[in-house]
A and B are shown apart, each in its own frame.
Chain A
């Protein structure tokens, strides 16, 4: 499993020009807003078309401008979680998760949805509508919905930025569980130092549409030796 990306894309005076490969790891795209992080995810998911480059996941080619390949988003297999306003307001929690699943028989879908509801601690909320649950619960539903189709990779666009700090922490732990369960490449876009530090296997730092640094969290943030991430993280808790 892996994800290989080369994107050149010009949008209104801004040029995104990046290239990276990742394996089954959690990679954080880190940088200021407007540095092209979200645009990269949109290109990978097929919501935007790069001017040049390629996008490959698991050996499948999704985009290549020289070969004129551009697979539409619905035929690509990426779980995409947006920042907010992500759930379908007219569907229940169960309906939303079920919507991420297609092409298999009804009892099978039901069984899979039940499994996701258990995994994402959503029991008892199945028949509620998005307007009746909290922000953290909404993002859990969005994660479940993105993962039920067993995507090639998980793309997370600042999924926790609208959440309160304790809930954010809970989500970070949940994401760890999810990674153990699903074992797939995860690309997390954030401009939050703590999130990047606590979660990343590798950090790619974006600035002005280009990659300025790549490395492990320790390398990027210059932590003194002996101070591990867990200790730093727990020390920063309220």
Chain B
């Protein structure tokens, strides 16, 4: 689910950053890349400040609806979204920037608008990068731990993602359970990297 939004927003953002020049582009780029380098706890902290019951956005939502995103599974989705978005944007942007400019110009001179050109020429030609970005983002979202723990907590059956479940099992001595999950997780992640490599030789 987080991946779905990542693909939508990430592709749009990547297109903006790759093809447009506007004020604040540099700042937007930095903001969108930050989650890649910041510790997940810092991201989680920011999310709490923003969306918590007393947060900037959260207090607003809470006042109107009496509901808060924190400690729900939506928060887990949000955390995964924020940490995996940069991977999607970086990979897709590189792919969009590598599309030959003369092909784009050719599309314009053939009477096609920017939107048609984006859909029919630019995106199909960056398909590999978009798929690679999606796979990486999905893998990252799946492995998300720190930020999720901060904003969504670790409520069994509700907000405990797989990494959180592993943490719980290990800390409570359920080694058999932990082993199973860890092996499963490693295999799945390996598979994703394999798929990502198939589509792109330049990432990671």
Contacts and interface: CB of A to CB of B under 8 A. Distances in A.
A102 interface: yes
A73 B108 contact: yes
Contacts of B107: 88, 99
A86 B109 CA distance: 12
A77 B113 CA distance: 13
Interface of B is mostly: helix
Interface stretch (B120-128, B174-182, B192-200): B120-128
A141 to B, nearest CB: 12
Contact of A74 (B111, B120, B124): B111
A82 B124 contact: no
A160 interface: no
Given A47-B105, A90-B124, A85 B110 contact: no
Interface in B49-79: none
A78 B109 contact: yes
B101 to A, nearest CB: 10
A118 B106 CA distance: 23
A37 interface: no
Given A88-B121, A99-B120, A77 B111 contact: yes
Contact of B108 (A74, A77, A145): A74
Given A85-B100, A85-B102, A86-B106, A74 B121 contact: no
B125 A102 contact: no
B102 A73 contact: no
- Sorting the interface of chain B by its residue count into under 10, 10 to 19, 20 to 34 or 35 or more gives 10 to 19
Interface string B91-115: 0000000001011011111111110
Interface string A69-103: 00011111111101001101110000000011010
A85 B103 contact: yes
Contacts of B111: 74-75, 77, 100, 102, 149
A157 to B, nearest CB: 10
Contact of A82 (B106, B114, B121): B106
Contact of A99 (B102, B110, B113): B110
Contacts of B112: 74, 99, 102
Contact of A146 (B102, B110, B114): B110
A45 interface: yes
B106 A149 contact: no
Nearest to A155: B109
Given A90-B124, A90-B125, A74 B113 contact: yes
B41 to A, nearest CB: 43
A26 B102 CA distance: 24
Given A88-B103, A89-B125, A90-B124, A47 B110 contact: no
Nearest to A86: B106
Given A88-B121, A90-B125, A99-B120, A47 B100 contact: no
30 contacts: A45-B105, A46-B108, A47-B109, A72-B108, A73-B105, A74-B111, A74-B114, A75-B111, A77-B111, A78-B109, A79-B109, A80-B105, A80-B109, A82-B102, A82-B105, A85-B102, A86-B103, A88-B106, A88-B107, A88-B121, A88-B125, A89-B125, A99-B107, A99-B110, A99-B112, A99-B120, A145-B110, A146-B109, A149-B110, A149-B111
Interface of B: 100, 102-103, 105-114, 120-121, 124-125
Interface of A: 45-47, 72-80, 82, 85-86, 88-90, 99-100, 102, 145-146, 149
